Amino acid sequence: MVVVADAELLEDSSVEFAGSSKDHPETGKPTLSIMAKKPREALLKAVERIDDDLKKLKTQLKKK
């Protein structure tokens, strides 16, 4: 999910950098790095957009 968040963050013009990493592919804890004037606000907006997209997808899947 962190990869989805960093991709969505990059759509925001106020975000200078967004990236994620893990110490180990299977057991590592993901880390999300954000460079922006208001990183918390940018992350909240990105999560809201992801939530909206998932709700739309759920609606579409129920129709079929």
pLDDT of residue 27: 85
Instruction: Kindly indicate the confidence band of residue 58, based on its pLDDT and cuts at 50, 70 and 90.
Output: very high
Instruction: Name the 3-class secondary structure at 16.
Output: strand
Q: Which tens digits make up the pLDDT trace of 20-55?
A: 998 888 888 889 999 999 999 999 999 999 999 999
Which is nearest to 12 in space by CA: 37, 56, 54, 52? 37
Which numeric CATH code is attached to 2-63? 3.30.1360.10
Distance in angstroms (rounded) separating the CA atoms of residues 55 and 35:
28
- What is the rounded distance in angstroms from the CA atom of residue 14 to the CA atom of residue 39? 9
Q: Is 45 helix (H, G, I), strand (E, B) or coil?
A: helix
- For residue 35, the model assigns a pLDDT of 97
SS3 content of the chain, % helix, strand, coil (to 5): 50, 20, 30
